[in-house]
Structure 1
């Protein structure tokens, strides 16, 4: 029994020394840099969040009127060439409203029903005409628009490639100043912008959003999108 305990103790000590040796192992000489790549593109589609809100004395009246107008909106969008898969109901509410200050009142003054939907519009030159028609068939609020590109993955890959090239250029510049050169890659990460770790993260920023032309021209301007990628790379110094 004592012999078994002694063997186990010796094995434990050897394992502890092995871990310490690994932890104390020196890293190779490294140069660590961050590379940034950007691609600027014009958007080719816009995401619109719009909807209809109605008020009625009874719950059923409010629901029916809202459903009717929502159906008219969807029908109009399809007639204008918007694919059904690009029309999605995103928000539905039906609430009683109590405006009277009468104590103990249980019946609401009226009901408010609302339906919102998210629509992807690919014909930007027809956007003003489309929006005008939506107002006519029942839409009474637009909660926002967002420009985007349909083939964004292609531009993400291009931005990442530029970021890697930028990192290598920086590393070469730093080491050549000291009479050295870079060797193989020791580590590489594509860092996120929100502190979430080294998972892929791309920033898509709208450089120019909406513009109004008082002369009667287009009422929106897509401007351009900036798709960017950041990589952190460590090279071994030779």
Structure 2
């Protein structure tokens, strides 16, 4: 009986010690939590264009062959203009029968529509107008949109991140100074990837493009690309 009581007391002592240790670990130091933002604005040096060809023919085979022929001509033209094969990617292919008045129960369709789209990265922005004109000449008959981007974006991401960290430190210092305290070492830091990344800024792009077009100059304007970073930082208050 005595031995049993000793075991019970020993277990109770161990549990109490563990509980005290857990409570001590749960006590956090005084912290100041801030979010820092940083951004870098750069001129884009690449443009991504989505374009394609659409044909309508009486037979399925004729629609497919004509579309493939024009798509091949587009790819050949792009390569001759110095666009690298890795920067040309087929992104969308369709081949559909078309029935007038929605009569899908009919045996034969009125005609077939074939479409083939591709995404192209153009690295010579000053050649964009000339290149696009040539694409129309070889068979491209629709453009789905363009997007400006920066090739060495990782370098600018690192720069934006550095600015975000400096901004967080500045905020923490301002807050603690107002309270007569001092910023200590970093306790935790996290980069908010959800709000980080390049995004185009088209400030006055349409007016600028229209003005240049009237003067016989380029018909597009790249504006600026904004690369941003947000960090959440906890500093120990001393």
Q: TM tier, shorter chain? A: 0.7 to 0.9
Shift of 1:121: 0.1
Map of 1:10-89 to 2, 5 A cutoff?
A: 10=11, 14=15, 18=19, 21-22=22-23, 25-89=26-90
Which protein is richer in helix relative to its size? 2
**Against the structure 1 CA distance between its residues 84 and 15, is the aligned structure 2 distance closer, same or farther, given a 3 Å change threshold?**
farther
**Against the structure 1 CA distance between its residues 23 and 137, is the aligned structure 2 distance closer, same or farther, given a 3 Å change threshold?**
farther
Map of 1:76-225 to 2, 5 A cutoff?
A: 76-100=77-101, 104-193=105-194, 201-208=195-202, 211-212=209-210, 213-225=213-225
Relative to the length of structure 1, the TM-score reads 0.87
Equivalent pairs, count: 225
Contact 2:60 2:112 in 1 (8 A): yes
Corresponding residue for residue 226 of structure 2: 226
The farther-off stretch of 95-104 and 165-174 is: 95-104
User: Cα deviations across residues 10-48 of structure 1 (Å, max 9, x unaligned)?
Assistant: 58x929963994498221100111111110100000000
> Unaligned regions of 5+ residues in structure 2, if any?
none
Shift of 1:216: 2.1
CA distance in 1, matches of 2:124, 2:25: 61
**Against the structure 1 CA distance between its residues 134 and 182, is the aligned structure 2 distance closer, same or farther, given a 3 Å change threshold?**
same
Shift of 1:169: 1.0
CA distance in 1, matches of 2:114, 2:17: 68
CA distance in 1, matches of 2:235, 2:177: 13
- CA RMSD of superposed structures (Å): 2.4
Relative to the length of structure 2, the TM-score reads 0.87
SS in 2 for 1:180: coil
Contact 1:100 1:109 in 2 (8 A): no
> Unaligned regions of 5+ residues in structure 1, if any?
194-200
